[in-house]
Amino acid sequence: MTNHWVDIKNADFILIMGGNAAEAHPCGFKWVTEAKAQRKARLAVVDPRFTRSAAVADFYAPIRPGSDIAFLGGVINYLLANDRVHHEYVKHYTNATYLVREDYGFEDGIFSGYDAGSRKYDRESWNYQIGADGYVMVDETMQNPRCVYQMMKQHYARYTPEMVERVCGTPKDAFLKVAEMIGATAAPDKVMTIMYALGWTQHTVGSQNIRAMAMIQLLLGNIGRAGGGVNALRGHANVQGITDMCLYSDVLPGYLGAPTDADTTREDYLAKRSLKPLRPNQMSYWQNFPKFHTSLMKSFYGKAATAENGFRYDWLPKKDAPYDVLHIFELMHQGKMNGFICQGFNPLAAVSCVKKVRESLAKLKYLVVIDPLATETSEFWQDYGEYNESDPAKVATEVFRLPSTCFAEETGSFTNSGRVLQWHWAAADPPGEAKGDLEIVGTLFYRLRELYQKEGGTFPDPVLNLDWSYAIPQVPQPEEVAREFNGKAIADVTDPKDPAKVLAKAGEQLATFGHLRDDGSTSSGNWLYCGAWSQAGNLMARRDTADPSGLGFYPNWGFSWPANRRILYNRANADPSGKPWDPKRKTIAWDGSKWSGYDVPDMRPDAAPEENVGPFIMHPDGVAHLFALKGLSDGPFPEHYEPFETPLAANPMHPKNPLALQNPAARIFKGDQADLGKADKYPYVATTYRLTEHQHYWTKNVLSNAIVQPSQFVELDEDLAKQKGIASGDLVKVSSQRGYVRGTAVVTRRLKPLQVDGKKVHTVGIPIHWGFVGVAKQGFLANRLTPYVGDANSQTPEYKAFLVNIEKA
Amino acid sequence: MQVTRRQFFKICTAGVGGSSLAMLGFSPTAALAEVRAFKLTRTTETRSTCPYCSVSCGLLVYSLGDKAKNAKSEIIHIEGDPDHPVNRGTLCPKGAGLLDFVHSENRLKYPEYRAAGSKEWKRISWDEAFTRIAKHMKADRDANFIATNDQGVTVNRWTTTGLLASSAASNETGYLTVKVARGLGIVALDTQARI
Amino acid sequence: MALQSLDIKARSATTTPSPSARGEAVKVAKLIDISKCIGCKACQVACMEWNDLRDEVGDNFGVYDNPRDLTDQSWTLMRFSEVEVQAGKLEWLIRKDGCMHCADPGCLKACPSPGAIVQYANGIVDFHQENCIGCGYCITGCPFDIPRISKKDSKVYKCTLCSDRVAVGMAPACVKTCPTGAIVFGSKEDMIHHAEGRIADLKERGYQNAGLYDPAGVGGTHVMYVLQHADQPEIYAGLPKDPSISPMVALWKGITKPLASFGLGLAVLAGFFHYMTAGPNEVEDDEEEHTS
């Protein structure tokens, strides 16, 4: 979230689309009801289903799964055509005035630079025109046809309300009603917020769904404002924290791009990521990359990392391939992996296409599952009849199952969706012999290191030299680890403007990432978390309930990254002269000598408005990107493409170009292409989702949740039910090209057939949550149905739109 | 509505029975007419965070005993932390049911091992588990570690063992895990967060 | 502990007057705003967790309601209704069902067992199962069809409005947990005031018939609803429009009580021995049909 949970109460209008906050985040949704009750805010829900969020909305509009960009593109067109634009914001805080290269183009659904053979774009042309001074060329009048504003206008002119109805199935008047509600917040004293979740990410166009919304919020001037922002409602308690710690291949802690084979030297690697300003006076904060990276290397390798040895850049593994979870299981399926460790992760249930995941796991030599609960993954080899057909005798994988603690038995921090780090304390001992994750990881590493010390082995250096100065090496304590990722001064850190002034003495915890250095004099395991455990102590454990602004910042509750800032890009809450757009919702303002107010300024504190330092300080140009440049792999403007399984024969936006039917840059593995179904055999659109009574696949192990939502069901509309002779309560079978599930039919008016491109399209709803292990009634893993294809950028699987058939079981 | 003859008879019998029992001295006394005793009196209250979604609601976890040396804590109740700025004491059905997660019959209690081709789990000790897993990992790493790629560039990666990290683990666990994974050279690293 | 015998305002099948030494207690109330309810069932779970109840793990039977009905283990339940009050505008009305804590409780009036049902001065109607003989008359007496008899111990159970929490100054478990604040708790006066604000908000949003459900037929209730369509309470899964105490109960009060006062004959003792040897009477189907 750019903003945070309580801030939703400051919104005038709330859009829930690509998510279902009332069901998936009920206690966060409370702030929607507060905005409604206290500010008379309006709530609109756009969703394929009339959800429990829709039940309390002021307006609901249906949409076909997988057509969100058509809808949002329609909104962009509506805003531009009807002048619902916050002009001053757009002109100063976005790249609307910047000129795009002449060789950038878009034709019949394909952007310039496409190579059909590799299904990849050469993104070189998706860039600005650079002037002789080395800076981007701009046209303040925004009349130049190559300026972003005009390019955007042209791109979205095709997204008419009629086209929206044709692609999305949303009745035109319903679409216009939502567009009108959104458009009203272009006024400087009106703010809207968007709450989305996996309903947008789990598509082959997932990242572009979110970009489209970000563009809308920028056109309306709603980013950086209290009550505004683009708010991803994340699914797990610490999904934000684990993402920040970067437990994935692409990046190192703090979103530091991980080195690849192309980064042959440390110098090149750092230079490539230390982005220089593209406009005068811009902060281009990634210029500090070397400080963050060097401090990370000091945390990893301690004394072994020195300036002389390049801080052991050579020890860092370089990646040669994406290694996202779909790629990992593809490698496993090809027999290229031997071992696999699942730490609190149940891939058999969570990764798309059970069949492929089960076959892959059976090819491993060893599998280690660390979890507080018995999971399907740990029992993938076991025969559970129809729910999991397996012949254990034929599965050679050795499986270790290690019991870990749950939240109630451990101490440590979680980062919530609003980026607030909060400390929690153990309340009881774990059951039986269960151990904490830190002890499990710590002891395992300790044993490995012992083996390397004793026996030697392949390249033992990083294993032997990994900094492991924990008091009890087998059981690192959460406090020790938290202090480590915060970082400390190894030598005295002095003020660059006044070397006599010591900012942090050697050995002290650092207060801010502003004190990190690239010479080895500081360590920090995650620069974004620097300040969370400073010399002042554990700021994550703070519990001050004071809220001086009344806007819900609670500045001394926990610690919000970065730098305890509660709203990102908050410089944009004020006009170019530094005066808040809406004085009633002021977060920070220019007071004549510095930025001050209720929040930590997202700006150099002494950057006077006349300096024109842009509010989007991480970008080299200081502004937000309506045109995404080379940021995404599948286009600088979001474009509608059909899901990989679509009920339509052609993309209604590009009926004559089969290449533009689906996202042309999305990756699909060879074998999985054959596993895609067609509309003749699987005529109905299916979408998977969570129910409020359950959390993924955990709570089927929880009796009270099993009682309130006990057994598997699927939802369908009355029209389809009649056609198929299905009544509520009947057992039905839903099948895709990849498998089937059975459940009780819930026939409902909350789903309605939609007219899409002249065709009646029915949507079948597939709640997840059931499996073959648990105290709820046994059921089928919903991902037996889903395709093995992901978003072109994030590789998040396309769970939200695929094809099925349904029949009475 | 109508009252049948049989119902009328029943009413009379029960009514007469009730009243007359009281007269005969069988009535439970008023001393029992007291509400259930408050079950949290003298329990220990611990602040925690809900492990489910990213609203990260504050919790009050109540356990039996005062943490004295001879008493073992047992969690008996969980409810929302009213001081928490986001949830202000509220909890959704998952959070409200956390007690049954803590005490789920499917909680794992000791390390187990399933041998190749076997159809059952065997309980093993932690020592055995760590020893065997470490041996597996080292054997795989030693055999398959890639120090340089085809172009002779130093890449120092281990691709044949992968790790999937939880999004429900703490930041501390996350950091220690990424440090160990990168330290060993693992590149096949991903997290629930992607999904 | 605040609620004890001194705080009892009414007691089933008791002819002696209730203690009255203490002054007027604050009347409490729970207000359920259906327009804010997201049907998440947190209240159901919080109720079972606090009260140490666990129902059977049932089955889905084609709707979201689960468990299927109130039971001795499920004292509250969300009832989901898909309705179109205005043609083409679907509404998903979700009503939290459970004891209404009537000011004039039909259950208490119907109960023949002394002290099995009491009403506290704050308005809470509580069952004391140790005194329950399982006759089921409270079920007949309830205009909202709330109490449920246990198959295991033949005693009747229902929501206590968390009298144990209220007694120590806390809100009921369902109220505290409610994520959207659809359920609030306080003095009845404050709750009526809160409802007025909610009704004004709903009217401003186009619900012209929004209103408070606090039915006079049972003397008002200590559990009230804000309804978007207060003119049609029936569309909320059969919430009775004008609930009143069953004539069965009137009959018991009017005829059998005097009979009882005089009746110390053989029939009585026979009835008593029947109870001691054969257990309590079951409520039979035919009876329920006739009294509904």
Q: Does A73 touch chain B (CB under 8 A)?
A: no
Based on the domain organization, do B153 and B120 belong to the same domain? no
Instruction: Say yes or no for a CB contact (<8 Å) between A704 and C48.
Output: yes
Q: Is C165 on the interface with B (CB under 8 A)?
A: yes
**Does any domain span residue B38?**
no
Q: How far apart are CA A789 and CA A115, in angstroms?
A: 19
Q: Which residues of A708-746 are buried (b: 16+ CB within 10 A; e: fewer)?
A: bbbbbbbbbbbebbeebebebebebbbbbbbbbbbbbbb
Check B126 against A392: CB less than 8 A apart.
no
| Gap from C82 CA to chain A (nearest CA, Å) | 7
How many beta carbons lie within 10 A of that of residue C208, not counting itself? Answer: 10
CB of C187 within 8 A of CB of C205?
no
Give the amino acid at A630: K
Query: B114 and B121 in contact (C-beta within 8 Å)?
Result: yes
d(CA B161, CA B145): 10
- For B102-134, the pLDDT digits (tens) are 999 999 999 999 999 999 999 999 999 999 999
CB contact under 8 A, C251 and B92: no
For CA atoms A480, A482, A487, A488, the dihedral sign is negative
Contact (Cβ atoms closer than 8 angstroms) between residue A428 and residue A405: no
Residue B21 lies in a domain: yes
Q: Is residue B149 part of a domain?
A: yes
The pLDDT-based confidence of C269 (bands split at 50, 70, 90) is very low
Interface size, chain A vs chain C, as Cβ–Cβ contacts under 8 Å: 123
Residue C287 and residue B19: Cβ atoms within 8 Å?
A: no
Split into its structural domains, chain B has a count of 4
CA dihedral of B96, B100, B101, B103, whole degrees rounded to 10: 140
SS3 A764: strand
CB A338 within 8 A of CB B144: yes
Do B150 and B194 fall within a single domain? yes
pLDDT of residue A414: 97
By the CB < 8 Å criterion, does B174 face chain A?
Answer: yes
pTM of the predicted model, to two decimals? Answer: 0.94
Cross-chain residue pair C62–A727, CB shorter than 8 Å: yes
Residue B73 pLDDT: 87
CA pair distance C110, C250, nearest whole angstrom: 8
Chain A partners within 8 Å of C54 (Cβ): 703-704, 707
Whether chain A has a CB inside 8 Å of the CB on B60: the answer is no
Mean pLDDT of A741-760: 98
Query: What pLDDT was estimated at residue A31?
Result: 98
Q: Could you tell me the two tokens for A784?
A: 């037996």
Comparing CB atoms, the residue among C45, C137, C164 nearest residue B14 is: C137
pLDDT at position B69 is 87
In a domain, B58, yes or no: yes
Range of the domain at B120: 108-141
Strand partners, C78: C96
Residue A625 contacts residue A73 (beta carbons within 8 Å): no
Q: C92, A775: Cβ pair inside 8 Å?
A: no
Q: C5-33+41-235 has which fold?
A: Alpha-Beta Plaits (3.30.70)
The reply to whether B98 and B121 lie within a common domain is: no
Dist. CA C125–CA C154, nearest whole Å: 20
Query: Do B156 and B191 sit in the same domain of this protein?
Result: yes
Neighbours of chain B (3+ CB pairs under 8 A): A, C
Q: According to the model, what pLDDT value does residue B26 have?
A: 44
The predicted-structure confidence for C85-100, as pLDDT tens digits, reads as follows 999 999 999 999 999 9
DSSP secondary structure string for all residues of chain B: ----HHHHHHHHHHHHHHHHHHHTT-PPPGGG-SPPPPTTTT-EEEEEE-SSSTT--EEEEEEES---TT---EEEEEEE-TT-TTTTT---HHHHTHHHHHT-TTB--S-EEE-TT-SS-EE--HHHHHHHHHHHHHHHHHHH-EEE-TT--EEEEB-SEEEEE-SSS-HHHHHHHHHHHHHHTB--EEEGGG-
Same-domain pairing of B134 and B180: no
Residues of A in contact with B147 (CB under 8 A): 458-459
CA distance A312 to A420: 32
In chain C, residues with a C-beta closer than 8 Å to the C-beta of A776 are 57
**Whether residue B4 is found in the same domain as residue B22:** yes
**pLDDT (tens digit per residue) in A301-332:** 999 999 999 999 999 999 999 999 999 999 99
Residues of A in contact with B194 (CB under 8 A): 248, 324-325, 794-796
Residues in B closer than 8 angstroms to A443, CB to CB, are 126, 130
Domain range summary for chain C, segments of one domain joined by +: 5-33+41-235
Please state the rounded mean pLDDT for residues A114-143. 97
pLDDT at residue number C1: 41
Q: Is B9 within a domain?
A: yes
| Res A634 pLDDT > 60 | yes
Residue pair A598/A555 in contact by the 8 Å Cβ criterion: yes
Return the CATH number at B49.
Answer: 3.30.200.210
Q: Report the C-alpha gap between A406 and A437 in whole angstroms.
A: 9
pLDDT band at A451 (very low <50, low <70, confident <90, very high): very high
Same domain, B134 and B157: no
Residues of chain B with confidence (pLDDT) below 70:
1-33
Band of the pLDDT at C253, cuts 50, 70, 90? low
Rounded to whole angstroms, the Cα distance separating A6 from A12 reads 14
Does residue B186 share a domain with residue B156? yes
Could you give the percent of chain A with pLDDT greater than 90?
100
Residues A688, A768 contacting (CB under 8 angstroms): yes
- Please answer yes or no on whether A242 and B174 come within 8 Å at the CB atom: yes
Q: For strands A522-523 and A488-489, give the pairing.
A: antiparallel
B133 and B149 part of one domain = no
The interface predicted TM-score (ipTM) is: 0.97
Question: What is the predicted pLDDT for the residue at A494?
Answer: 97
CA distance C236 to C229: 9
Chain C residues with CB-CB distance to A under 8 A?
35-42, 44-45, 48-49, 54-64, 66-67, 74, 82, 84, 90-94, 179-182, 198, 201, 204-205
pLDDT at A692: 98
Residue C20 pLDDT > 90, yes or no? no
Q: B38 vs chain C: nearest CA distance in angstroms?
A: 5
Measured between alpha carbons, how far apart are the two ends of chain B, in Å? 58
- Among candidates A539, A538, A487, which has minimal Cα distance to A253? A487
d(CA B23, nearest CA chain A) in Å = 44
| B36 belongs to a structural domain | no
pLDDT average, residue stretch A337-365: 97
Tell me how far CA of residue A508 lies from CA of A301, A487, B17, C25, C194, in angstroms.
19, 9, 81, 59, 53
**Taking CB atoms and an 8 Å cutoff, what residues of chain C touch B6?**
287
Closest CA to A23 of A777, A709, A620, A559: A709
Residue A253: name the closest of A244, A265, A264 by CA.
A244
